Homo-oligomer: A and B are copies of this chain.
Amino acid sequence: MPQTLRIDLDRSSPVPLYHQVATAIDAAIEDGRMQPGEFLENEVALAARLGISRPTARQALQDLVERGRLVRQRGVGTHVAPARVRRPVELTSLHDDLSKTGRKPSTEVLERRAVPASAEVAEALEVPEGSEVVMIRRLRMADGEPLAVLTNYLPPDIAPSAEDLASNGLYDLLRARGAKPKVARQRIGARSATAAEARVLEEKPRAALLTMERTAYDDNGHGIEFGQHIYRASRYMFDTMLFAS
């Protein structure tokens, strides 16, 4: 009892056909029209019904498999993956994260100024040590409660203004400036809060904090952002999905 999904294709659109198909199926999974475990038509039938070639249909399905939405088994068919394995690892900023989970993010820019690059910053951003970079320190709040202190270092030519940062996520602003983060290396650790940190975050002195250090790169591998952040462990966890190779 395979589900035949209605999919409208626009052959004059610049969006590739396989992507239109993938998006349509993904949407059906997302809004519940297709349930976990439910089988799709086989790919030959799908291609015939939509008037596309089998490779095109395959490419659409393959994309969804790689994103963890579908599971395929040779000789069996293609079915929707269980809901709990569907969430992807993604490179997002905390601002986007909070919006998606329904909490109201707000930001207070504590500091924004030019500083000489430390060795660590210089290496991440590929600039000479001691050259000028912009340091931004923000207090991130969720529903009015302090959540994290975010410290970012950026090359001067793409660093957003303090005003922009008050209402927009950093990554959105970077993208608007043409710097598109594609990959990031992230290191998560923990330590006790200093007195000053505890005060800003409204925690007790020496409370456990989560620390995160991240370098973001564009797709040519050039560093575009380096950040050292601290989070209130009592209010925040990092939630990721891992895949076996």
Contacts and interface: CB of A to CB of B under 8 A. Distances in A.
B184 A208 contact: no
A189 B238 contact: yes
B82 A221 contact: yes
Contacts of A245: 88, 90-91
A217 B89 contact: no
A71 B87 CA distance: 25
Contact of A238 (B36, B187, B236): B187
A120 to B, nearest CB: 14
A210 B189 contact: yes
Interface string A65-85: 010100100000000011011
Interface residues of A, number: 48
B221 A185 contact: no
A207 B192 contact: yes
Contacts of A166: none
A206 interface: yes
Interface in A132-147: none
B90 A221 contact: no
Contacts of A186: 239-242
A208 to B, nearest CB: 4
Most buried by B among A183, A237, A241: A183
A101 interface: no
30 contacts: A36-B221, A66-B66, A71-B219, A71-B220, A82-B220, A82-B221, A84-B221, A89-B242, A90-B242, A91-B243, A180-B244, A182-B243, A182-B244, A183-B242, A184-B242, A185-B239, A186-B242, A187-B237, A187-B239, A188-B237, A188-B238, A188-B240, A189-B236, A189-B238, A190-B209, A190-B210, A191-B234, A192-B192, A192-B208, A208-B208
